[in-house]
Amino acid sequence: MSLSEPPGKTVQGALIQLFPGAGITGIANAIPNIVQFDINPTELTRSFTPWKVDTENDVPAPGAGVQPITVPQSFTGFKIVLDPYAAKNSAIPINFLSVEARLSALRKMIEPSKGLLGDLVASVSDLLNIEQDYTPPEIAPVILWLGARIILPVQIESFSITEHQHDQLYYPVRATVTLSMKVMTPDQFRCANSPAAEIAIAAYEYTRVQQDLSALVSAADISPLWRLVAPI
């Protein structure tokens, strides 16, 4: 089977890390960690694990009728190409941090965090040997945003960087990032009382509504049924 050439236009995508918190910490954490990118891969691999009722000796588990119905899904081999020279209409001129800044932002998405400002203050304090009141870092949800179709909370499970070319200060000029991500379900946020968790749940439910509507559109097309009876 031959495939037609994919469209030349790219899709605006982003990974957005939302930080929980309240009070002064919440104000500081209101600055999200955002990495934007253009993407139009020839392939996007999504893996789904079929749902089934938990059973023991073929007997439904207690409360099986009210167990949440979620289908685990993941993205594997997801590649982001960071090439500032290919970007169009960028408001920021190309500089030595054009790629490194995005790589640093991506790295923060795989570790506990106190927020962008909180992490900076903690790092400077450690460098200058200034004592601070200990505040445990938190795992902040990451939203994968691909056009209007896919908006999902994800957890980055693997992360690799290939840097292409470097400047005189050894900052990368271009880079390719390969990610594997697991989609997080609303039940993983039920105990979290924060706007970040509410946004993550809303993103998941938005994408699920789209999928349900698409399935309904497929059911409305009954022409394949006629072909079963009278192949044309």
51 close to 137: Cβ distance less than 8 angstroms = no
CA angle 93, 94, 98 (to 5 degrees): 120
The pLDDT tens digits of the residues spanning 108-118 come to 898 888 778 87
Location of structure tokens 């698409």: 214
The pLDDT tens digits of the residues spanning 203-221 come to 999 999 998 898 888 777 6
Q: Tell me the average pLDDT of the chain.
A: 78
Residues 133-148: what's their mean pLDDT?
79
- Distance (Å, whole) CA 107 – CA 161: 10
The pLDDT tens digits of the residues spanning 157-192 come to 999 999 999 999 999 999 999 999 999 998 888 777
Helices (runs of H) and strands (runs of E) counted in the chain: 5, 9
Residue 25 one-letter amino acid: T
Residues 133-142: what's their mean pLDDT?
72
The pLDDT tens digits of the residues spanning 50-103 come to 776 655 555 555 554 445 556 778 998 888 888 887 766 666 678 888 899 999
Give the per-residue pLDDT at 163. Answer: 94
Q: Which of 203, 154, 147 minimizes the C-alpha distance to 12? A: 147
- Distance (Å, whole) CA 202 – CA 214: 18
212 close to 186: Cβ distance less than 8 angstroms = no
List the end-to-end C-alpha distance of the chain, in Å, as a whole number. Answer: 21
Query: What is the pTM (predicted TM-score) of this model?
Result: 0.76
Domain map of the chain by residue range?
11-47+69-216
**Residues facing residue 197 across a β-bridge:** none
